[in-house]
Chains A and B, each alone.
Chain A
């Protein structure tokens, strides 16, 4: 059974720092991996999607990497801002049972001004 783990559960850093969020998964037979942002009381917003054949994706100050063989992905946030405060979730789409995304529990990020 695929399990997705995000550590730490919460992270607090001062504004301006570069930071890395981690996501690990137990089964490397994935179709893709997606990073989401969730603001309190809101739905999820897709940030970056990495196909299984790709190593990384970039969007603005965000960079996501994927190492399928080791079952790990990282989300790098450069020059963090208070507006980046949110919960960040990763999810893998399985090759089998293709419509199912397996989500991690998320990392709650707080950027302190």
Chain B
């Protein structure tokens, strides 16, 4: 029972490069979220999805895009990485009827 799996775990990018972070959950959850965690800023919501084929902006969506083509996967894309996007990224999911969030172990991203 894997829960929420994030890949990759670590990544270093140069400014202007693009990449995609993958989040996969095997709990058949409807809701999925992408957060970033920065020292002194806490966790902030980037984008979220309430079901397959839906996405919505969170608190800090600029510079990111997301897609949810399959219920179990939620992808976070950086089209042109900037040093300000250096952070730890967490994916989370929850079922329709329960508020309890399940988190992945995070992706540490450095943009040089």
Q: A residues near B, CB below 8 A?
A: 4, 31-32, 34, 36, 41-46, 49, 51, 89, 91, 93, 99-101, 103-106
Contacts and interface: CB of A to CB of B under 8 A. Distances in A.
Contacts of A46: 100-102
B106 to A, nearest CB: 5
Interface residues of B, number: 23
B49 to A, nearest CB: 9
Main SS class of interface, A: strand
Interface of B: 4, 31, 33, 40, 42-45, 48, 50, 56, 58-59, 90, 92, 99-106
Main SS class of interface, B: strand
Given A101-B45, A103-B42, A42 B58 contact: no
Given A42-B105, A43-B106, A44-B101, A103 B43 contact: yes
B56 A99 contact: yes
Contact of B42 (A32, A41, A106): A106
B100 A43 contact: no
Pick from A51, A101, A105 the residue with the most CB of B within 10 Å: A101
B58 A100 contact: yes
A105 B58 contact: no
A32 B77 CA distance: 30
A93 B98 CA distance: 13
A42 B59 contact: no
A99 B100 contact: no
Pick from A31, A43, A89, A105 the residue with the most CB of B within 10 Å: A43
A65 B72 CA distance: 34
Contacts of B48: 99
Contacts of B102: 46
